[in-house]
Structure 1
Amino acid sequence: MALDIVSYGRRGPGGRLRLGFDEIAQIQRTVGHTPEVMVKVSGGARDVGGVEAHLRYIGRHGKLPLETDEGLVQQGRGAARDIVTDWQLELCRSQYKPKPAQGQKDTRAKLVHNIVLSMPAGTPPEKVLAAARVFARENFALQYRYAMVLHTDQPHPHVHLVVKCEHEFEPDKRLYIRKETLRQWREQFAALMREQGVAANATPRQVRGQVRKPYRDPIHHRLRALRAFAQLSLTERDGRRAPQPSTVIRTKLQKVLRDLKAGWVASDAGQAKMRDSRQEVLADWNATANMLRRQGKVGLAAKVDRFTKRMPRVQTDAQRIARRWTQLERQRTRRSDTERFGPPIR
C-alpha cells in the first residue's frame, strides 16, 4: 500500500541510495496532481447468454463498433452473437457445471472478465482508444480472445474491454486478475497514455491522501442519477419520480441518523486502520523528501512537503455522512428561521 519510493532507489558510487530518473518523474507527477488513470474489473459473465448480453450493452445494441483481437470491427445487432460464436464459449469447461438454483451462490467460473480503462474528463477519446488497443495487444494477444469499444457518452472517455478467461491454446490455463495485476495494469496504461502525449499517472489512492474507496458501479450510477435529479428545477422535476438511493447508501445513512439522535458522533472500527495507513504514507513521503534534498532536489522536496500538508483529513464514510447531514440541518434551520422571523439584523 505505502509509497516506499526509497526502496526503489539505486546505490550511487558512494554507496548511498539515490532516486533514479523514473522515480523522480513519478514523484513529480504525483505531487503535481497529474490526472490518474483508472483500470478496474467491472464483473464478468458465467454463461454464454450473459456474455452476449454484455457485448450488446457496451455496443449500445449495434450502434457502436466492437473491435476484436483479430483487428476486425463488428457493428450491428448481430455483432455480439457473432463474437460469442467465434470465441466458442459453449466449449469452455465451466459450461459443464449446472446453473445454481434461485437464491444459491453461483460458483461457476467466469467465461469473461469485463475490464474498464478510463481517463478523466477532457482527455481526447481517440488517444484513450489508441492506448487501450496497445494495452490489450500487449497483455492478451495470441493468448486470450478479446473485444473492445470506446464510450464517450460520459464526461470521462473510457474503453470497455471484454476478455475471454480461458487460454486459447491451453484450456487448463485461465486468466486470473489479482490486486497486483491491477496495479501493474494501471501503471502500464498510464505509461501508454503518456506515449500518446497525455499526462497520466498511476498511484495508490492512499499515497495521494485519499482514504475513500470508490463505490461499485451500481451505487455510483445511482448516486449520479440522484445528483442529476437534484440539479433539475422544480418545473423540470414536475411529474418525474426521484431516483431512490441504493440499499447500501440508505442503510449507512439510517445508521448514521440513529447515532446522531443518540447524541454521539458516528465512528467505526475502520478509522484506526485508516489512521495507521496515513502514518505509513506520511513516513514514506518524509523519507522521500529527505532523499531528494540529499540529491540536491530541494525544490521538489518542498513540493512533497506541501503535498503531504494538504492531504485531506482521515474520515470514514459514516463520519463524512454525519458531517454533511449536520451541515444540511443547520442550513434548513437558518432558512426556517428566516421565513418565520425575517433576515437577521446586522
Structure 2
Amino acid sequence: MSDFRSLSGFEEALRPPVDVRRARLTPTVLGRMRGAGQGDAAARFERVARRVPEVMVKITGRTRDGAHLGAHLAYISRNGALVLEGPDGERLDRAGVRDLADDWAAELAMEPRGRRDAPVSLSVVLSMPMGTDAGRLHDAARAFAGEVFGDRFPYVFALHDEGRHPHVHLTVRMLGRDGERLNPRKADLQLWRERFAHALRERSVEAEATPRRARGVTRKPERAPVRKLRERFEAGGGPAPRVLREAVQEAAKDEGGTEPWKAALRARRDRIVRALSAEAVRHGLSGDRDGRRKADTVVDFVKALPPVETRRDVIRRRLDPSERERPPPDGGRSR
C-alpha cells in the first residue's frame, strides 16, 4: 500500500500543532532532520491506517547542579549496573559517571555571564510500546542522539528494559561546546519524535510520530502529575487535584449550545473523513484485489476513529447517569 494519492485532508492532520520553523535547532541540522524524518503524506497515512506504534520522546526534567546530576546518572545507570554510553561509544563505569558529573558542573560554572541557577543537563526518555525489540531501540536511540546533538551537546544514554518495555534515558549537557545553551521548544520535540521514528524504521521497527489529530484523538493527554494526584484521590489517598475540581465545576454548568472549539474539531474531522472516504472509493473502484484491500483499510480506519469529545464531555457523562449509556452525538465519527 504505497500508491495513495496526495490526501489534502489528511495532510492537514499531519501538520504539527506548532510551526517547526520555531525550533531552536540550527538550520543545517533542522534541514537534515526534516528530509530524513517526515516522508510523504501517503506513506505516513499507510502507517497510521495500520495502527503503527507511535514513538514517545519526552523531556522528564533538568538537573540543578553536579550533585543532582550525579544522582540522576546513578539512577539511569542503576548505580553502575547498566552501561552509560557517550557520543563516541565510550562506556562509563561508576567512577566515570562521577567524573562526568563533576566535569559538566565545572564547565557550567566557568560559563561567562552564566546564571547560578542554570540547569546542568536535560533529561529525555525515548520510548516505544511493550514488546519492541530492545536492541534495535537502543541502536535507534544511539543514531538519534548522534544526529540531533552530535558534537554540539555532550550526552550519555542508557537502555532500560524492565518488564519488556524498553526505553532509553538520554541525558544531554545543556551548555554546548560552542557556548550555545540547549533550550528546546515544542517544535523541537516534534522534530525529535520524527527523527527517532525514522531511526527506528531504518532498523525495521515500525514506528510513527504523528500529531494526535492524525489518529483521530481530540483530547490532550492528562499531565502525569495531575494523573497521579487523580489516581491517589480516586483510591481514597488524598484530596482531588485543583485542576480536576475546576474542570468538574466548569462541566457542571449547563450553558447549552456547542463550544466553538468543539465545532472546530468536528469541522476538521469532517475534512479528514471526506478525504479518506474519497480515497477509499477510488481504490474500491479499481477492480483489483489490492485496490479493494486498500479501500477496506481506509474504511476500517475511519470506522475506528474515536468520538470527537472534549474533557468536558467526558466529565459530564460521569456526572450525569442518564448520559452514561448514551453514545456520543456523532456515533464516534463526525457528522
TM-score by length of 2: 0.70
Extract unaligned runs of 5+ from structure 1: 9-20, 100-107, 231-240, 332-346
Between 152-161 and 205-214, report the one with greater CA deviation.
Answer: 152-161
Match of 1:203 in 2: 210
Q: Secondary structure at the match of 1:96?
A: coil
RMSD of aligned alpha carbons: 3.9
Aligned to 2:309: 315
> Gaps (5+ residues) in structure 2?
1-8, 16-38, 326-335
Superposed, 1:218-257 pairs within 5 Å as 218-221=225-228, 242=237, 246-253=241-248, 255-256=250-251
Aligned residues: 291
Change (3 A) 1:223 1:73: farther
The match for 2:44 among 21, 26, 35 is: 26
Letter in 1 for 2:138: L
> Contact 2:230/2:244 (CA < 8 Å) preserved in 1?
no
Letter in 2 for 1:271: K
Check if 1:70 corresponds to 2:88.
yes
Partner of 1:207, secondary structure, is helix
Against the structure 1 CA distance between its residues 154 and 318, is the aligned structure 2 distance closer, same or farther, given a 3 Å change threshold?
A: farther
* CA displacement 1:306-345 (0-9 Å, x = unmatched): 31232111111122133245459989xxxxxxxxxxxxxx
1:235 is matched with which residue?
Answer: none
Work out the CA distance in 2 between the residues paired with 1:149 and 1:222.
Answer: 29
Structure 1 pair 38/164, CA: closer, same or farther in 2 (3 Å)?
Answer: same
Cα shift readout 1:45-79 (whole Å, capped 9, x = no counterpart): 35444433433333344443322223222243x55
User: Are residue 271 (structure 1) and residue 265 (structure 2) matched?
Assistant: no
Deviation at residue 181 of structure 1 after TM alignment: 2.5
TM-superposed CA distance for 1:83, in Å, is 1.8
CA gap 1:80/1:5 in 2 versus in 1, 3 angstroms: same
Give the one of 160, 169, 184 matched to 1:160. 169
Contact 1:117 / 1:159 at 8 angstroms: preserved in 2? yes
1:150 aligns with 2:159: yes
In structure 2, C-alpha distance between the alignment counterparts of 1:330 and 1:293, rounded to whole Å: 37
SS at match of 1:271: helix
What is the alpha-carbon distance in structure 2 between the residues aligned to residue 117 and residue 133 of structure 1?
11
Say if 1:194 and 1:220 are closer, same or farther in 2 by CA, change over 3 A.
Answer: farther
In terms of Rg, which structure is larger? 1
Aligned residue for 1:133, secondary structure, equals helix
Per-residue CA deviation, residues 124-151 of structure 1 (Å, 9 max, x unaligned), is 2222112111111122222210011222
Give the Cα separation in 2 of the matches to 1:123 and 1:269.
40
- TM normalised by structure 1 equals 0.68
Aligned to 1:279, what secondary structure does the other structure show? helix
Alignment identity in percent? 33
- Shift of the alpha carbon at 1:208? 0.6
**Equivalent residues in 2 for 1:39-118, closer than 5 Å:** 39-76=57-94, 80-87=97-104, 88-91=106-109, 93=111, 96-99=114-117, 108=118, 110-118=119-127
Report the Cα distance in structure 1 between the residues aligned to 2:242 and 2:85, rounded to whole angstroms.
36
Does 1:126 pair with 2:135?
A: yes
Shift of 1:155: 5.5
- Corresponding residue for residue 10 of structure 2: 3
Cα distance in 2, alignment partners of residues 245 and 73 from structure 1? 45
Q: 1:52 to 1:3 in 2, by over 3 A?
A: farther
1:72–1:266 distance in 2 versus 1, CA, 3 Å = farther
Q: Is the 8 A contact 1:5 1:284 kept in 2?
A: no
8 A Cα contact 1:270 1:316, kept in partner: no
2: distance between equivalents of 1:225 and 1:199? Answer: 35
